[in-house]
Each structure stands twice: as C-alpha cells, then as structure tokens.
Chain A
Amino acid sequence: MDWLEDELRQALRRKDPSPDFEARVMAAARRRPVLTMPRWLAAAAALLVITSAGLGYRYHRGQAAKAQVMTAMRLTGSKLSRIQMQIKAARP
C-alpha cells in the first residue's frame, strides 16, 4: 500500500499557484461582462406582472359574474314565459 499512499501524497501535495495566476483570474473576470438589471427595470417588470395578473383576475371574475347574471335572467325569462303560456292555455 506504500505506493498508493505515495501517489496520494504526491497528488494532494500543497502546490503554490504560478506567479501570474492572480493576474490571469482578474483579466478573465474583466473580460466577462456581468449582467446586472437596473433596479427600476426590475420594479417595472414586477409591477407589470402584478398589474397583468390583477387585470386577468378581474376579467375572469367579471366573466363569471356575467355568466351568473345571464343564467339568472334566462331562467327567470323562461319561467315567466311558461307562466304566460299556462295563462293562455287556461283562457277559455
């Protein structure tokens, strides 16, 4: 097992970076532009999403209320119509 320990010790041995390592890292960091979004744009996007969701929910609720009103009126109209037909039928 000595050879394995030697190999591991060799591989994990502390190794100092090359003298130009820091300069190379800094140069690479400078080359890659960091994508940052302006705060106002993020706020505007959030506002747009919230407003759209609110309008969508309002529209959905409005359509549901409208459907209920139309159902109510259709039903009421049909009952009144039936009543009138019954009156007509009862007339001599």
Chain B
Amino acid sequence: MRIVRTVTLACAVAAALWAQQLKLNLDHLAGKASDSVDVSLNNSMLQFAAKFLDGKDPDEAAVKRLIAGIDGIYIRSYEFKQDGAWSQADLDQVRNQLKAPDWSRILGIKSAEEGDSAEVHVCNQNGKITGVVILVTGAKEFTVANIVGAVSLESLADLGGHFGLPRLEQQKGTKKR
C-alpha cells in the first residue's frame, strides 16, 4: 500500500512539473543566431550549483535565495544579425503550451513601431505560483526563459539591482527586502 501511495505521489509531482516545464524545440534557431544562450538546469544541478555560490557576494547571494525553491531553469535566447530569422510558428510553439487553466498571462507588451513584444506568464496551482515564463521577442531576438517551481516574484524582482541592472520598482503593498 505504501509503495502504491509513493508511486502515485511521485507521478503527481512528475505530472505537475511536466505541466510547468515547456518543451523548447528551438535548436534550429541556434544555427541562424549570432549569439545564443542555452541553459538547462534541473533541480539537482541547481542545488549542486548553489553549493558553489558565495553568500557574501551580493549578486550570488540574491541568486542563491531565488533558486532555493526552484525545480529548474530552462532558457533559450537567440540574437540574430538579420531580421526574420525566427517565425511565428516558433512563437506559437511556445505560446501553445501556456494555456489555461494552469497558465495565465500576467503581462503583455507590444511595440508596434519596433515590433518588439514581451510577455510574462505564470503557472498557478492551488493558489501558488509554480512556474514562470518570460517570452521576449524582437526583429532580431527570440528569448524564452522558463523557471519551474515555487518562484517568488519578489525574488525575481530582486534580481534588479544586481548584475549592474537597475533596481526594479515594486508595487506598493509588496514587501521589500
């Protein structure tokens, strides 16, 4: 009975993670890109990396706090020298996985002039954020960042102010670290 319960629980956890982790089949863009970033870190790699982060360094300390509850980080970022290197199908492939009821778009920006767009989607399960996807596209850029697990939006916002980035403004009423 105990085995059945354990297997059921493991399947439930795996299914939940499966829903939050996107399938990013964008390797064909890497060949066209002038610059590309491909990061795939699962929970064990993140926890392993955390052991090597220096808590005294402000940048590394912020990252250490953020990755404490995260199950995975998957990023594909491509920059191109020419326009039109990526297609609508590439964008749709990502967007089609971000569907209700689990996923909801909390932010969407589109610049008609420059053709840039940015979207932030969050995965809500039982009232908790269990995944975040940041999708940024431009004429010469295609970036998708998928953070899987209990992501604290405050900790994400806390990334501003580090790595030489400007501090992100937080809305009134949210706690400041």
Q: Smallest Cβ distance from A75 to chain B, in angstroms?
A: 6
Residue-wise interface mask of A (59-77) relative to B, using a CB-CB cutoff of 8 A (1 in contact, 0 not): 0011101101111111111
User: Which of A72, A82, A87 is close to B145, meaning CB atoms less than 8 Å apart?
Assistant: A72
Closest to A87 in B: B109
Contacting pair A75 B118 (CB below 8 A): no
Contacts of A65 in B (CB 8 A): 41, 45-46, 48-49, 52
A residues with CB within 8 A of B: 61-63, 65-66, 68-84, 86-87, 90
Contacts of A70 in B (CB 8 A): 59-60, 63
Can you list 14 A-B contacts (CB < 8 A)?
A65-B46, A65-B48, A66-B49, A68-B39, A69-B73, A75-B75, A77-B160, A77-B165, A79-B118, A80-B156, A80-B159, A82-B118, A83-B134, A84-B160
In the complex, B143 has a CB within 8 A of chain A: yes
Q: Smallest Cβ distance from A4 to chain B, in angstroms?
A: 77
Given contacts A68-B45, A75-B143, A76-B159, 5 further A-B contacts (CB under 8 A): A66-B49, A68-B49, A71-B39, A72-B41, A80-B157
A71 vs B53: C-alpha distance when bound (angstroms)? 13
Contacts of B60 in A (CB 8 A): 70
Which 3 interchain pairs have the tightest Cβ spacing?
A: A77-B159, A65-B49, A62-B52
